[in-house]
Amino acid sequence: MTEHVWSYKSTSGHLAGADLTGYKVEASDGGIGKVDKHSDEVGDAYLVVDTGVWIFGKEVLLPASTVIQIDPEDRKIFVDRSREQIKNAPEFLRDKHLGDSGYRDALGAYYRPNAPFGAQPMV
């Protein structure tokens, strides 16, 4: 079960209802882009990050559990994955995957705690 993957950690500093759009997102080894869309629904919280030129203008979907800290003063969000781990996640296509429960399950399995690095579930 991957439901906890779609919830913010209590230590992240996330405040329900806060608008995170435009916040910069920092992986453990550098910036990856800015939040384009987010959800803080209980059990379905995520960030859609526009990676700009980093991954050729693609977007990535990050489950809320990857967030370790939100800094509202500097408008930054820190996640507990490396740039390579994020880049190697199952490809995200907003129009196809945002409401797709199968994709959500696959992505949740990829980002679940203690998932082996590079584990790529079928999408």
What DSSP assignment string belongs to 35-74?
EEEEEEETTEEEEEEE-TTTTTT-EEEEEGGGEEEEETTT
Whole-prediction pTM = 0.88
What pLDDT, on the 0 to 100 scale, is given for residue 57?
74
Averaged pLDDT score across all residues of the chain: 88
62 within 8 A of 46, measured Cβ to Cβ: yes
pLDDT digits (tens, 9 = 90+) for 39-96: 988 889 999 999 988 777 789 999 999 999 999 999 999 999 999 999 999 999 999 9
Phi, psi (degrees; rounded to nearest 5) at 96: -90, -40
**CA proximity to 47, closest of 105, 11, 8, 73:** 8
The secondary structure of 107-123 as a DSSP string is: HHHHHSTTPPTT-----
In CATH, what class is 3-111?
mainly beta
Q: How far apart are CA 10 and CA 13, in angstroms?
A: 7
